[in-house]
Structures are given as structure tokens and as C-alpha cells.
A = this chain, B = another copy of it.
């Protein structure tokens, strides 16, 4: 933790001035990432990676509780394998990175670095699934994937990113659909409970489905600047892949039938969502569940006798109730305050000679800078509630931001006006179901369709675009 004391924490661009620059500043100044000479790829630095490890740990536990097993597939996909499912290859081939040489020898067949692994899982399923007794298969893997994007941004869109991909195979369509919905709910619960990010659950329109899927479910979140971010998706494939890969099993009547399939994924993009949902002009604000350090002790006048000893003892007392840190470096308290605000540590505990005299410490919550004086013999008892309070407060602010920025519209003009007058946000509006109208709304207003929410409202009975009978209410918005 030793830092050059002369170097104060650099300030960052203000959010309102330039949100994009603010975002990049936070990524760098909070030491989440570092750029590399590999265009579109980044180093996820220890502080950023520790957030990802916490995300992994919680999600992995939720996957295992719902009966999933981890597995590991190769990172390469032979071109011929990728081509087996027509829609799938059309969707992914344009953004594949291709390996053409092994050492000095040209490969007989090109291999793509996996952009996603449905094809590899299908090949494996064909190998191991023969009878109804072999089903379901509930698999997940934690790996990185590559998509050759033109424009990239840390966490939000990078050529390589870390993710988990669940792949499951089921005897019936109904079971597969239930799985798709179950995992969407797991994602939504995780976002709301652990990341304190409210999400809208829904289904993508046909034009926005995953390549090869029959249905794509998604959760959509609204960032601080009013742009939408897709936080997780869950796909139902029907038996399309099974047919393309000739996966069959003999059912209870000894008849050969095709199984039904799903996949679902969440990525390091979630870290981007955290930054843009909770961050402020002082930097990152982390939800306690995934914060590498949940509370940081900053000793005041630490050269004075007894201060550091009491601070170390406090750390020991707190280590069983939270992830606790202490900064005993020779930097000034002011420097430390700014540093851990930048890094979004949810709680700061100040402890100086006078506090010790009064058997107390000062607890400061990062997101609202509220100070509370807490008795030292109560702090261990108080801390879990304090962290829960932080989570609730973050969630409520984010929800309040979303509600303030959600506009119910009946005409295209209303959309344009709402976005212009109140800034970007979610638009709720009716839709007839035609792709043409979907495209036109985006063209005219800038807001694309985000999802068909499970919670439908009948705003009007007409499509906002063509005026024909409306089939669904959609969420629309500009997206990351």
C-alpha cells in the first residue's frame, strides 16, 4: 500500500461534463484496468479482478445450488464445426478471430477462437447423451471469449472478455424453457440483491435474438446517464441445434427423439454496469457484496502512541464480519480518504486518539458520505447491518434514477421530446410486432427496442409507429 505521498489522488472528469471520459477515468484511476498493445484487449488489474472473483464466487454458488456442474471446453472451434448451424455461423463468423498457423505450418482447417461455445457443447452432447437417463445435462464454464469488435471500451465491449456460459440439454421443450427462465431469474436476483442494480426482465424481439436461438430472454438495466445496458441473457434453442448436430436420445418408449437446449451468459460487462450505475464524481462506488474491501480503517494521527495498535486490534475484531482493510502507510489521512473513495470502498472507519479515548470510531459510508459515530465495542455488531443499508440505499437510488428516466409515450414525437427534455432513458411504448416499425422507431427517435418486458402494461391499443393494433409493450432506449 506504500505510495508516494507527494502524489495526491488525481481528480477525474465530472460525470455531467463528459460521461464517457468520466467512465474511462474511473476504470483507470480506480486501478481496474490498464491498456495493452493488443488493440481492444485490456489487463484486468488486481483490484478489478478481485471484483470479478467475488462475482464469480456468488454466481458459481447459485449455479451449483440449481444443479449445474462446471466443465471446460477447448478454446478453438474448427470452421466446419462452427458452420453446422446456419443462423449461428451467420451471426458469429464476421467477428471471429481465426488461427491459421500452428508454429510454422499452415493449418489444413482454420480454427476460430471461441466467440461462444454452443457448437463445442453440441459435439460433446452428441458424444455422451444416448438415453433419457442421460438427461438433463446442466453445464457451465468460466472462460474468456473473443469477438472482433471494431470499437471497444473497457468492460463494456472488448475483443476478449471473461464470462460464464451455461449450456444445458433437456428431454422436453418445457423443461428447457423452465431452465431458460430459471437462469434469467438467477441473473436478476444476483443483479438486484448483490450488485444493487434494478433490472427489467423480458424477452428480446426476433431481430435481437441470439444467433440460432428460438427465444432470447434478457435483463436490462438503466445506467446513470440514461443509457440501457443488457446485463445478462438466457437463450432457448428448441431442438434446432440438436437437429443440426444430430443429437438424439432414446426416450422411455425407446423412440429416438431430439433433446432441447439452452444457454445463458454473464460477463465482465457487469463491472461496467456497476461503475455506471453507482459511480459518482469521486470515483467508483461498489456494492458491498462484490467489494474486494468492504471497510477500510484509516488511522488518524497514527504516529501517536496506541493509535496503530488499537487500529490493528479493530481490524482483527472485524475480519470475521466483513472484508476489512487497513491503510497504515505514511500517506496523509486526506490522501487515503480520496484514494478509497476513488476505489469505491463502501465503508471507511476513522480512528484517532480522541476516538480511542471515547471508545468510539467514525464510520463513513462512501456513497453518501454520511458519518456515524459508533462505539468500538459495538462496531462488529453494527457492520453487517451497515453494509446492508449501503446496498439498499444504492439500489433505491438506482431505482429512483430509472423511474425518473422512464417515459411512457404514445407517439413518436412524445419519445423525441421526452429524450430531449429529460435526457436519455427507458421509453415504454406499444408495438405491433413488425420489424419495420421497430427499425423506424430507432431511426426516428434514436431509441432501439430493448425488450418485451414480462410485466406488460397497456399504454394504448395502437402501435406507436404504424398505428395498427398493438401486440406488446416494449422498452426502448439507447444502449451500450
Interface of A with B (CB < 8 Å)?
Answer: 2-4, 34, 36-38, 41-46, 49-50, 52-53, 69-78, 81, 93-104, 110-111, 113, 120, 123-124, 127-128, 131, 133, 139, 143-144, 146, 148, 159-160, 162
Q: How far is the CA of A380 from the CA of B312 in the complex (A)?
A: 37
Q: Which B residue's beta carbon lies closest to that of A52?
A: B72
**Nearest CB of B to A4, in Å:** 6
Partner of A37, one of B46, B78, B113, B133: B78
Q: How far is the CA of A93 from the CA of B103 in the complex (A)?
A: 6
B75 touches A46 (CB 8 A): no
A70 touches B50 (CB 8 A): yes
B44 touches A124 (CB 8 A): no
19 extra A-B contacts, CB within 8 A, seeds A43-B124, A50-B70, A99-B113: A4-B131, A36-B120, A36-B124, A37-B78, A37-B123, A38-B77, A38-B78, A41-B74, A41-B75, A45-B71, A46-B69, A46-B139, A49-B72, A93-B103, A96-B103, A97-B102, A97-B111, A102-B159, A143-B144
Q: Which B residue's beta carbon lies closest to that of A96?
A: B103
**Nearest CB of B to A53, in Å:** 7
Of A72, A73, A77, A104, most buried by chain B (CB within 10 Å of CB) is A72
Q: Which residues of B contact A4 (CB under 8 A)?
A: 131, 133
Q: Which residues of B contact A162 (CB under 8 A)?
A: 72
A133 touches B101 (CB 8 A): no
Q: Which residues of B contact A111 (CB under 8 A)?
A: 38, 97
Q: How far is the CA of A55 from the CA of B240 in the complex (A)?
A: 37
Partner of A100, one of B49, B73, B101, B123: B101
**Nearest CB of B to A84, in Å:** 11
**How many identical subunits does the complex contain?**
2
A38 touches B76 (CB 8 A): yes
**Nearest CB of B to A298, in Å:** 19
Q: Which residues of B contact A75 (CB under 8 A)?
A: 41, 75, 113, 144, 146, 160
**Nearest CB of B to A238, in Å:** 24
Q: How far is the CA of A70 from the CA of B46 in the complex (A)?
A: 6
B100 touches A98 (CB 8 A): yes
Q: How far is the CA of A202 from the CA of B117 in the complex (A)?
A: 41
Q: How far is the CA of A38 from the CA of B41 in the complex (A)?
A: 25
29 A-B contact pairs sorted by A residue (CB < 8 Å): A36-B73, A36-B120, A37-B81, A37-B123, A38-B78, A41-B74, A42-B74, A43-B71, A43-B120, A44-B72, A45-B71, A46-B69, A46-B70, A46-B71, A46-B139, A49-B70, A50-B69, A50-B70, A52-B72, A75-B146, A95-B103, A96-B102, A97-B99, A98-B102, A99-B113, A100-B101, A101-B110, A102-B148, A103-B148
Q: Which B residue's beta carbon lies closest to that of A120?
A: B36
Q: How far is the CA of A42 from the CA of B317 in the complex (A)?
A: 47
**Nearest CB of B to A2, in Å:** 5
Q: Which residues of B contact A38 (CB under 8 A)?
A: 74, 76-78, 111
Q: How far is the CA of A139 from the CA of B93 in the complex (A)?
A: 35
Q: Which residues of B contact A124 (CB under 8 A)?
A: 34, 36, 43
**Nearest CB of B to A162, in Å:** 7
**Nearest CB of B to A292, in Å:** 10
Q: Which residues of B contact A139 (CB under 8 A)?
A: 46
Q: Which B residue's beta carbon lies closest to that of A268?
A: B72
A128 touches B70 (CB 8 A): no
Q: Which residues of B contact A144 (CB under 8 A)?
A: 75, 143
Q: How far is the CA of A162 from the CA of B102 in the complex (A)?
A: 19
Q: Which B residue's beta carbon lies closest to that of A135?
A: B2
Q: How far is the CA of A3 from the CA of B110 in the complex (A)?
A: 38
Q: Which residues of B contact A103 (CB under 8 A)?
A: 93-96, 148
